[in-house]
Amino acid sequence: MLGLIRGVARRAATAARAVHTSSSAGAPPPPPPAVPKRAEASASSAFDVAQSEAAQSTGLIQVRGRLGQGTTQVREATFKTDNFAASPRKLRMIANQITGLPIGEAIRQMQFSAKKAARVIRSSLEWAQQAGAREREMDPANMFLKVVRVGKGRYGKKLDIKGRGRTGLIRKPTAHLMYVVQEKQPDQPPVPRNAIERALMVGVLPKRRVKGFKLAKNVWTPLDERKPVINPKPFYNW
């Protein structure tokens, strides 16, 4: 009796599964999942995305000066080189040499430099000058290197064969440079941030009304070392 009940239940489940399969075969296929906007943007080429971003950005940034100097709008661009065979410690000396120079003067310095990496740096500076004029509409005559940073790259390995069956490992360093190029705009006056900066830029600063505040009358002057030291002591007096 129990086996008969199990057989009937098994046949009923098989019939229900067949009906469900036939009904799903006649139904229309489900719609494809919606593609998110981020995936659509990633489907386009990276060159098109970079071109659209470069066209939308004007390159103008707000530069905040010291107290009393206000803010000015300047054009700024950042360029980075690939890793090339050079020591980061040696590149830092070249970076200190060209930081703050006009980009044309920096190219001339690298043209006559005896450093091995000067040729690579010169070509990268020429590329940065052309890219800044093309993408950010910067004047090459007014472009200067605001910041030059040196970064470490991956170290290559080379086998150093020694005598008596010994070997060593030679590390080949690589490094890269990053340039922050700005365009000088001397004709644009700075904008003061507050009333104190406005007064400092005009040259009329109200006096401080603080109890016990007064300007120093005696200005500090360096010690006159031309006077001879009479009767010197064997120890310091301070």
A 10 A CB-CB count for 102 gives 16
Which pLDDT value is given to residue 55? 43
Do the domain assignments include residue 66? yes
The answer to the question of residue 162 being in a domain is yes
pLDDT tens-place values along the chain, 238 residues long: 556 666 766 777 776 666 555 555 555 656 665 544 444 444 444 444 444 454 445 567 766 555 555 666 788 999 999 999 999 999 999 999 999 999 999 999 999 999 999 999 999 999 999 999 999 889 999 999 999 999 999 999 999 999 999 999 999 999 999 999 999 865 556 677 777 677 767 766 655 565 555 555 566 666 666 766 666 666 665 5
Q: Which domain holds residue 162?
A: 59-183
Q: Give residue 194's pLDDT.
A: 73
CATH number of domain containing 155: 3.90.470.10
How many domains does one find in the chain?
1
Q: What is the pLDDT of residue 51?
A: 44
Domain assignment of residue 154, yes or no: yes
Tell me the C-alpha distance between 125 and 132, whole Å: 10
- Tell me: the pLDDT tens digits for 50-63? 444 544 455 677 66
**Is 229 contained in some domain?**
no
Per-residue confidence (pLDDT) for residue 93, from 0 to 100: 93
- Given a contact cutoff of 8 angstroms between Cβ atoms, the answer to whether 181 and 128 are in contact is yes
In a domain, 147, yes or no: yes
pTM across the whole model:
0.54
What is the structure's pLDDT at 86? 96
